[in-house]
Amino acid sequence: MPVNYTTPSAQQLHPVAGVRLGIAEAGIRKLNRRDLTLIELAPGSRVAGVFTQNRFCAAPVQVCKQHLATHDIRALVINTGIANAGTGEPGLAAARATCAAAAQLLGIEARQVLPFSTGVIMEPLPVERIAAGLPKCQAALRGDAQAWHDAAHAIMTTDTVAKAASRQISLGGRTVNVTGISKGAGMIKPNMATMLGYVATDAAISQALLERMVKEAADASFNCITVDGDTSTNDSFVFIASGAAGNAEIIDAASTDYAALRAAVTAVAAELAQAIVRDGEGATKFIEIAVDGGRDHAECKAVGYAIAHSPLVKTAFFASDPNLGRILAAIGNAAQAHDTLGDLDVTKVKLWLGNTLVSEHGGRAASYQEADGAREMAPAEIVVRIDLGRGNAQAKVWTCDFSYDYVKINADYRS
């Protein structure tokens, strides 16, 4: 079970005007499983996205990037079970065929459809099953909150729970909704995790600012998480603005409306991102790593990731073993990932576990007792704080522990 996370009910989600969703059981990889989602967007909707930086990026990612360049997207198709990655030219043809099948149903052009896939890599995508399932998705299209709730379940793979989040704000006297869903539990690392995330709003915002906001939201959420340090081939985070709320179009990044919408979108994205970590494969603990006192944000993040990616640190957290020298070693190793840390003065570094000072002046803090460390490592939620003692920058990274079940889940993933 995930660490302190429960899927919101449909009643806790806000529908987004101009966005309809429908799901179906298409038998893409397994029978009796909701595995196909169609999202239909009203004319005039604007869409932006950020994607994996894995050089073996999946065929649907490549097609998405091409279609997004047209700035005229009317539908999204999402399948689970098969990732359509590592599939070469046939995979690209399959992604394009998926777009064509959806376009024919909706009376739009194939370039107006974005395809997304998640699941097993290097297996062919059964396009015929997707094409057969899409009419069922179309028949099920709805714009209510229940449709969002259903879609959150339909995009799952190794997830144990569906992930959704919602906010409601006021812009210029108009009520604006922001709702999102995501999936992910393993192969999670920053620069987009192995995840799919979709956030929609009915606010009106220019295309240029939409593209800026999706990057800002990703950097404050999905690019702050890691489960196992593996960057997927299929990671995608898409931000949709239907404009149906009737607010004055946001065209100024310095405006209060932009700030308010960005805060709501970032809050939804952060909730979804943290839910992914809380549902990390086999996870029993949620860990926040807060690094401050750095020269810049990048080196703070490098330290946070060095700790979060260390199997030795993560297994110690699973066992509640206060073998905290592993954290110091990880901090020292961060210099390999970020050049400016090469001159890190370890005598100025301080480390806290919860409220307990563990290390200062290059070694164990005089006040630290191992019983204190064991007590701080016992809860399901843990905060690790590091002060680098060399500046005013800060960053946070969210991760989880490594348990026996992580190996079991991934060893049996294709079965």
Catalytic residue annotation? 194
Query: Residue 128 has what DSSP assignment?
Result: H
Token digits of residue 191 = 């620069």
Other beta carbons within 10 Å of 345: 10
Strand bridging mode 196-201 / 236-241: parallel
Distance CA 267, CA 117 (A): 25
Distance CA 192, CA 50 (A): 8
211 Cβ partners below 8 Å, 6+ apart? Answer: 48
β-bridge mates for residue 356, sequence order: 353
> How many angstroms separate the most distant Cα atoms in the chain?
71
134 Cβ partners below 8 Å, 6+ apart? Answer: 24, 36, 38, 77, 101, 102, 105
Token digits of residue 173 = 């006297």
Distance CA 59, CA 83 (A): 9
Token digits of residue 381 = 């939620």
Alpha helices in 155-221 (DSSP H): 207-219
Distance CA 325, CA 302 (A): 18
Alpha helices in 203-255 (DSSP H): 207-219
